[in-house]
Structure 1
Amino acid sequence: MAIRAAIQAIRTALFYLVFIGQTIILAIIAGSIGIIFGRTRFGWAIARYWCWSNVVFLRLLTGMGTQVEGDENIPPGGCIIASKHQSDWDIFAIFPHTGRPAYIAKKELMRIPFFGWAAHSLDCIEIDRQKGAQAIPEMIGQARAAIDRGCRIVIYPEGTRKASLAPAEYRQGIVRMYTELNVPVVPVALNSGLFWGRNSLVIWPGTARAKFLPPIEPGLDAKTFMARLTQAIEPESTRLTLEALDQGIGRPPDARLRERLDAMAQQKNH
């Protein structure tokens, strides 16, 4: 296993070299175009290439494949796509399926030269997380404008990447956005953290999966909506994770993942 891990670490390093290198180059190109010309078809073409190429490089260099299903559940017109967040993979894997997405991005990313300019030209919505709840009205205003431009809002309701099978921690931003924008919300379940976890030094072989689930209709009260969203994303993400583990994955389960699996087994037996 140590030899396999060492080989996989080398494969991962090669991927990061390509991933970071081309991201910098494309950000300079797209950012320069964005700051001069604003939103352009060429800018969107660069974004689509970036997403497609990252999926290809992941598969070729690390053995991590990609499978996305259920995009027929995305309704026509404006909506919110609320995705589980376990990996950087989540960003570029679902991008091609969302039409014209407007991602919610933290302020720090939007302030990076060239990268931030490119993000602004691709309809990204900035949020200053240091402001807490005070940042939500401004985020909703930007989201409403994006919906009016024909975008679909992409948000990660937990606000940060979570480990596989970790307890869910959904924030109130998604509830405020749902009640204010009055559009359907499409939940997205996934299991990418099994293969490319947060702060992981190694990306493991296997097929990461994401699934767009049936939309939640607008008009529900906040408590009911949050319950529906959680009950859609969490069980399906758990199912995708356990299914991958049953089929066998390239990575050895770490101590925390084993603890969560043991806890789930104990709950099932009681």
Structure 2
Amino acid sequence: MMLYVGSTMIWAVVSLLSAPLPYRQRYWIITRWTHFNLWVVERLCRIRVEVQGLENIPASGGGIVMAKHQSAWETLALQRWFTPQTWVLKRELLWLPLFGWAISLLNPIAIDRGSAASALRQLCRQGAERLAEGRWVVVFPEGTRVPPGTRGQYQPGGAVLAERTGAVVVPVAHNAGRCWGRNSFIKRPGTIQVRIGPPIDPKGKRASEILRLVEEWIEAQMQEIDPPAAASAAQRTATSSSAGAGN
């Protein structure tokens, strides 16, 4: 805990000092904290990471990443494979002293989650700008972290951005919630499996179709990499459907 707090304080100060530098240099400096913390936690807590599908990442770089959201791990770890990247996050995070100020130097897309229409407009406008600069835009379509074995309501924002810009979409599935709980500081030993899917070309597709393809691919992978939880979720869904049919 003290190591985390200490490294965060040092990182925040160094990040703020990097403000005058060009974006790419700022990005490299600021994201060192991410790599350091992942390296430390994964070793101390005996967490292994297995990745499949690295060959699916377009060599040209830049695009939209739409990933499963179970924990804080993926918000950090996706930087290993998709760089430079921009996050879509709630604007309140930027108000946090030091931490939020440092994050703001990476030019995230900070949306107002209280207004869905405004958030979508902002995502499309700023997302298009970031994509034009060759960055990855990372979107968690479920909107919030969900427990292992559950499926959140997939939101269309990332798919709408893809339809309007023509940027490829790379779906990502993982089971990080098994080791890195969404509401727990305690980390559990184990293996985090990450699967990176083939890029989805949005040309000729509506946002609804793009979103359907993303959701189907991610959730199909979850059935394989998180079988006990996936089976439990399927059972809950079946029970709910049966109850609804009986009404």
TM-score above 0.5: yes
Q: 2:162 matched to which residue of 1?
A: 178
Q: For residues 1-270 of structure 1, what are the structure 2 equivalents within 5 Å?
A: 16-34=1-19, 36-37=20-21, 39-41=23-25, 43-75=26-58, 76-219=60-203, 220-242=205-227, 260=232, 263=235
Greater percentage in helix:
1
Give the Å deviation of 1:265.
11
The 1-side partners of 2:17 and 2:91 are apart by 19
Given the superposition, is the C-alpha separation of residues 212 and 123 from structure 1 closer, same or farther in structure 2, using an over 3 Å criterion? farther
Give the aligned residue type for 2:219. E
**CA apart distance, 1:258:** 9.8
Given the two structures, how large is their TM-score scaled by the length of structure 1? 0.79
The TM-score normalised by the length of structure 2 is 0.86
Alpha-carbon distance in structure 2 between the residues aligned to 1:184 and 1:70: 16
Return the offset for 1:38.
5.6
What SS does structure 2 have at the residue aligned with 1:129?
A: coil
Give the distance between the partners of 1:113 and 1:48, measured in 2 at CA: 18
Residues 187 and 213, structure 1, Cα contact 8 Å, conserved in 2: yes
Q: Distance in 1 between matches of 2:230 and 2:136?
A: 37
Larger mean CA deviation between 71-80 and 153-162 belongs to 71-80
Specify every segment of 5 or more residues in structure 2 that has no aligned partner in the other structure, as ranges.
Answer: 240-247
RMSD: 2.5
- The 8 Å contact of residues 142 and 153 in structure 2, kept in 1 or not, is answered as yes
- DSSP 3-state at the match of 2:5: helix
Cα distance change, pair 265–205 in 1 and its aligned pair in 2 (3 A): farther
Unaligned runs of 5+ residues in structure 1 are 1-15, 246-256
Instruction: Tell me what 2:245 maps to.
Output: none
Change (3 A) 1:108 1:156: same
1:107 partner letter: R
Displacement after TM superposition at 1:217 (Å): 0.6
Q: Deviations over 1:245-270 (max 9, x none)?
A: 6xxxxxxxxxxx59926827989xxx
Percent of aligned pairs sharing the same letter: 30
Paired with 1:153 and 1:261, the residues of 2 have a C-alpha distance of 29
Aligned positions, number: 238
